[in-house]
Amino acid sequence: MLATLQQLGFMPSLSRPAVSNDNPFSESLFKTLKYRSQYPLQPFADLSRAREWVADLVCWYNHEHRHSAIGFVTPAQRHAGLAAALLNQRKALYEDARRQNPRRWSQHTRNWNRIHTVHLNPDHAETQNKPTQEMANQEKIAA
């Protein structure tokens, strides 16, 4: 990443992960940006081209990129209040598909419940190996 930033004419930050003055939201965006197929391989011709590319990236990120941390909806859909309806539609679709062909599904479908709070770096001690309520209920039924 450092070599690519230098080739593109950027001065990299010396920030490190888990350092209090780092911006985890920016770091997350950089990772998404880096793995996007439209990531530039050559330096920008001028400042206006760089700004145009960043503006296109921001538009894509907010209106097209479906974020796993918020249930695979776009930030624009979430901010517009559309996420709950979309997630409910997906949940119904998956449940119907599971009823029609139960052998296709291992144990459960994806959790399509709305995620209320998003953490970039959740406390792993709290979240690691913690079964969801749905999985716990299924284990009780199976027992």
The tens place of each residue's pLDDT in the chain, 143 residues long, gives 778 877 888 766 665 555 656 666 677 777 777 788 788 888 999 999 999 988 998 899 899 999 888 899 999 999 999 999 999 999 999 889 888 988 887 777 778 888 887 766 666 545 444 444 544 544 444 44
Q: Is residue 96 part of a domain?
A: yes
Q: Is residue 52 part of a domain?
A: yes
For 83, counting Cβ atoms within 10 Å of its Cβ (0-12 exposed, 13-18 middle, 19+ buried), the class is: buried
Same domain, 49 and 6: yes
Please tell me the distance from the alpha carbon of residue 84 to that of residue 13, in angstroms, as a whole number: 37
> Whose structure tokens read 């979309």?
86
Please tell me the distance from the alpha carbon of residue 141 to that of residue 143, in angstroms, as a whole number: 6
What is the pTM assigned to this prediction? 0.60
Domain housing 86: 73-116
Please tell me the distance from the alpha carbon of residue 82 to that of residue 85, in angstroms, as a whole number: 6
Same domain, 5 and 40: yes
Q: Is residue 110 part of a domain?
A: yes
Please tell me the distance from the alpha carbon of residue 120 to that of residue 20, in angstroms, as a whole number: 14
Q: Is residue 41 part of a domain?
A: yes
Q: Is residue 91 part of a domain?
A: yes
Same domain, 59 and 2: yes
Q: Is residue 127 part of a domain?
A: no
Same domain, 95 and 45: no
